[in-house]
């Protein structure tokens, strides 16, 4: 059988026998109560029957107390078998059984004296038996309350216990203990024994308080409840007995005597419940042992203070009633001690609150710091995510450029190569048949193709290596008009005739620039104007001193005068969204990528590098409307300065 199943069977068997015992207790004590209420027959008769029941019935519970005696003794010699707490628990039923036996022996002596002498001598063996039950009970409860609680909880329990003790002691002093002490006795020994009863009851109340500390242990809760009920019944019966004895001199056959039978039978039931707990615990692992409950919450915290107003009422009562001053003084003293204890309790409560507040505050601070750190980490993460996104975007853009570049270069290399190959094929095929002029023309075409190819390869390599300039610009004073005319001459005459070329350049305007660079820039811009705008449209080349030119986006940062040179065409124009990308490497407009116009997307990039190397700026102005064309402008330092 599995362990849980075994435990389940044990539980159900134990539960059934517990309910059987409860039924027995209810039946017996119900009958006894009826007997005491009806009081049948003479006083002697029903008191004899009552005491016999009180003596015998608790003994019915003894099997539960001593059923594990042999096992307990055997295990106590071999401690390693059980955990220390289980070892201790095994002794509890035995001690409870001893208390029951003591009580029953006391009752037996009472019956004996009552039957043969009508009254017991005082003190007698009967008192010895009764009183010996108190240490057994105290020891049983102490063994049950071995578990140590946190210091704060223990302190609170101690104070609560002291408050309850003081309250009960004050009442006991006024009604029972005080009168007993004051009544005195025939001998000192008789006086001591007489006082031992109410003191014993105080010990039982002390047991109750100790038990309440134990009630935080979930598994022992039923035991605690049963034993607490037993103690209450016992103390109640004792107190009423003492009180009646003091008031009337006799206390035989009172209804409250049922408290003794009930109390001791409940101890027996408690012993049975403890046995059940020890059996369960022995079969469970050590960690599962005695799960603790939380500290009492809500109204339960106020329970110990119920006695405080009661003592107040008692004090007022003593002021308006006749009584021994010692008894009244005792009540006053009890009240003062109670107030003192409450003040101490309050002091500790305030300290605990301050301590908890501080702890809470530091936790809040820690939480705040953690939150802040988390926030910072989040921000960093967001930044990193943005960086990754930007890097990804850049990578994607580079990939696009690469694809575009491969496409362009492939096309651009093939075109002049095809031209060269075509002319060389013609020359080989018609070798000797061609006249010298045709041969020269073919060779020139092939040579131009080679030159174009060389330029193209150089441009591409320079752009890739980022080594376009190759050298420091050699600036000289150059006439803008002259350089522009020289560049125009580099184009085929037919090309020049296809367009209305207008020059708006003052003859005197000079710039400080590298002639080779300036030629290359103008060549790029003019060839773009011829390439991208339809024939028979106008191409305007203008030059002005910077600032005089309307629409110039900025004046140069330093105060040096600049010349602004512009090439304007009447082509398809460029949209403002595309303008910002056109000065990057290998960028061509989509429409030209699929169109018939050849290009590598390097001309504007190279022009920008060259212009900036000479201290100028370059930009594009265009409305993007086809036919309105575009204007490519760049600035260069004017020469000589100030002109």
Catalog residues that contact ligand ADP under the rule CB under 6 A. 524, 528-529, 532, 569, 571-572, 574, 582, 588-589, 592, 599-605, 630
Q: Give me the least distance between CB of 614 and ligand ADP, in Å please.
A: 18
Given the complex with ligand ADP, which of 292 and 455 has the nearer CB atom? Answer: 455
User: Of 172 and 404, which has the nearer Cβ to ligand ADP?
Assistant: 404
Reference 609, options 617, 620, 597, 621; nearest CA is 617
Min CB(484)–ligand ADP separation in Å: 16
**Closer to ligand ADP by Cβ: residue 475 or 539:** 539
Instruction: Give the nearest distance from C-beta 620 to ligand ADP in angstroms.
Output: 8
Helical ranges in 430-465 per DSSP H: 436-465
Q: If you compute the radius of gyration of the chain from its CA atoms, what whole number of angstroms results?
A: 58
Residue placing its CB nearer to ligand ADP in the complex, 605 or 619: 605
Distance of closest approach, residue 452 Cβ to ligand ADP, in angstroms: 12
Look at the chain and count its residues.
Answer: 643
Nearer to ligand ADP, 289 or 592 (CB): 592
C-alpha–C-alpha distance, residues 244 and 412, integer Å:
127
The CA angle 45-57-21, to the nearest 5 degrees, is 145
Closest CA to 598 of 536, 500, 530, 538: 530
Closest approach of ligand ADP to the CB of residue 423, in Å: 23
In sequence order, the β-bridge partners of residue 564 are 544, 635
Looking at the Cβ atoms of 433 and 596, the one nearer to ligand ADP is 596
Question: For residue 511, which of 500, 522, 501 has the smallest C-alpha distance?
Answer: 522
Beta carbon of residue 455, minimum distance to ligand ADP (angstroms, whole number): 11
Is the separation of the CB atoms in 571 and 629 below 8 Å? yes
For residues 20 and 144, what is the distance between their CA atoms, to the nearest angstrom? 24
Virtual CA dihedral for 282, 283, 286, 291, nearest 10 degrees? -90
Torsions phi, psi of 233, nearest 5?
-60, -45
Angle between helices 188-214 and 221-248 in degrees, nearest 10: 150
Pick between residue 65 and residue 602 the one whose CB is nearest to ligand ADP. 602
Q: Nearest distance from residue 486's CB to ligand ADP, in Å? A: 20
Nearer to ligand ADP (CB atom), residue 315 or residue 581: 581
Write the CB contacts of 266 (distance below 8 Å, at least 6 apart in sequence): 25, 226, 227, 229, 230, 233
User: C-beta of 386: minimal distance to ligand ADP in Å?
Assistant: 31
**Residue number of the CB atom closest to ligand ADP:** 599
- Residue 400 near residue 429 (C-beta atoms within 8 A): no
Least distance in angstroms from the C-beta of 449 to ligand ADP:
17
Nearer residue to ligand ADP within complex by CB, 161 or 603: 603
The smaller minimum CB distance to ligand ADP, of residues 75 and 495, is found at 495
Of 65 and 564, the one with the shorter C-beta distance to ligand ADP is 564
Single out the residue of 532, 411, 534, 514 nearest to residue 471, CA to CA. Answer: 514
CA-to-CA dists, residue 224 to 145, 218, 254, 266, 328, angstroms: 10, 10, 28, 11, 35
Structure tokens that stand for 453 in this block = 């190819």
Alpha-carbon separation of residue 279 from 71, 142, 219, 400, 565 (angstroms): 12, 20, 12, 80, 106
**Other residues' Cβ atoms within 10 Å of the Cβ of residue 270:** 30
At closest approach, how far in Å is the CB of 627 from ligand ADP?
A: 12
């Amino acid at each position: 059988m599995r362990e849980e199943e075994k435990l389940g069977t044990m539980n159900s068997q134990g539960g059934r026998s517990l309910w059987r015992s409860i039924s027995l207790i209810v039946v017996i004590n119900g009958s006894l109560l009826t007997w005491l209420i009806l009081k049948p027959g003479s006083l002697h008769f029903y008191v004899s029957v009552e005491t016999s029941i009180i003596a015998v019935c608790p003994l019915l519970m003894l099997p539960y107390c001593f059923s594990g005696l042999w096992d307990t003794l055997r295990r106590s010699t071999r401690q390693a078998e059980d955990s220390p707490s289980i070892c201790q628990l095994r002794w509890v039923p035995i001690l409870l059984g001893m208390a029951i036996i003591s009580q029953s022996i006391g009752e037996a002596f009472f019956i004996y004296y009552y039957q043969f002498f009508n009254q017991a001598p005082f003190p007698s063996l009967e008192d010895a038996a009764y009183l010996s039950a108190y240490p057994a009970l105290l020891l049983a409860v102490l063994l049950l309350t071995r578990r140590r609680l946190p210091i704060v909880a223990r302190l609170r329990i101690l104070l609560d216990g002291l408050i309850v003790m003081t309250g009960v002691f004050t009442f006991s002093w006024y009604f029972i203990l005080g009168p007993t002490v004051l009544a005195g006795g025939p001998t000192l020994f008789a006086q001591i024994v007489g006082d031992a009863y109410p003191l014993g009851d105080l010990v039982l109340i002390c047991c109750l308080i100790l038990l309440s500390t134990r009630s935080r242990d979930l598994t022992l809760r039923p035991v605690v409840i049963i034993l607490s009920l037993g103690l209450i019944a016992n103390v109640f019966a004792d107190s009423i007995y003492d009180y009646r004895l003091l008031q009337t001199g006799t206390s035989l056959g009172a209804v409250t005597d049922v408290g003794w039978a009930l109390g001791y039978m409940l101890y027996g039931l408690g012993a049975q419940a403890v046995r059940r707990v020890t059996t369960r615990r022995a079969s469970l692992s050590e960690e599962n042992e005695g799960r603790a409950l939380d500290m009492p919450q809500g109204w339960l915290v106020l329970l110990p203070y119920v006695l405080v107003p009661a003592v107040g009422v008692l004090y007022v009562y003593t002021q308006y009633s006749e009584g021994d001053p010692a008894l009244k003084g005792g009540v006053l003293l009890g009240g003062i001690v109670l107030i003192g204890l409450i003040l101490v309790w309050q002091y500790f409560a305030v300290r605990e609150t301050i301590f908890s507040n501080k702890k809470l505050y530091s936790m809040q601070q820690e939480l705040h710091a953690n939150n802040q750190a988390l926030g910072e980490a989040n921000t960093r993460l967001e930044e990193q995510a943005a960086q990754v996104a930007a890097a990804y975007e850049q990578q994607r853009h580079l990939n696009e450029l690469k694809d575009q570049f491969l496409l362009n270069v492939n096309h651009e290399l093939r075109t002049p190569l095809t031209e060269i190959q075509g002319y060389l094929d013609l020359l080989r095929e018609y070798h000797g048949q061609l006249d010298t002029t045709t041969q020269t023309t073919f060779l020139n075409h092939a040579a131009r193709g080679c030159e174009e190819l060389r330029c193209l390869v150089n441009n591409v390599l320079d752009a890739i290596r980022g080594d376009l300039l190759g050298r420091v610009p050699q600036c000289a004073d150059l006439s803008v008009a002259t350089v522009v005319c020289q560049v125009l001459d580099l184009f085929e005459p037919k090309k020049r005739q296809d367009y209305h070329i207008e020059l708006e350049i003052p003859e005197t305007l000079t710039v400080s620039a590298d002639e080779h660079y300036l030629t290359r820039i103008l060549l790029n811009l003019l060839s773009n104007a011829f390439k991208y705008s339809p024939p028979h449209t106008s191409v305007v080349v203008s030059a002005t001193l910077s600032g005089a030119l309307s629409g110039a986006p900025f004046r140069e940062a330093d105060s040096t005068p600049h010349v602004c040179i512009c090439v304007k065409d009447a082509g398809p124009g460029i949209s403002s969204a595309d303008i910002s990308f056109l000065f990057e490497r290998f960028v061509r407009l989509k429409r030209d990528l699929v169109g018939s116009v050849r290009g590598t997307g390097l001309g504007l990039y190279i022009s920008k590098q060259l212009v900036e190397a000479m201290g100028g700026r370059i930009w594009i102005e265009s409305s993007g409307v086809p036919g309105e064309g575009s204007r490519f402008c760049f600035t260069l330092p004017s020469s000589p300065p100030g002109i």
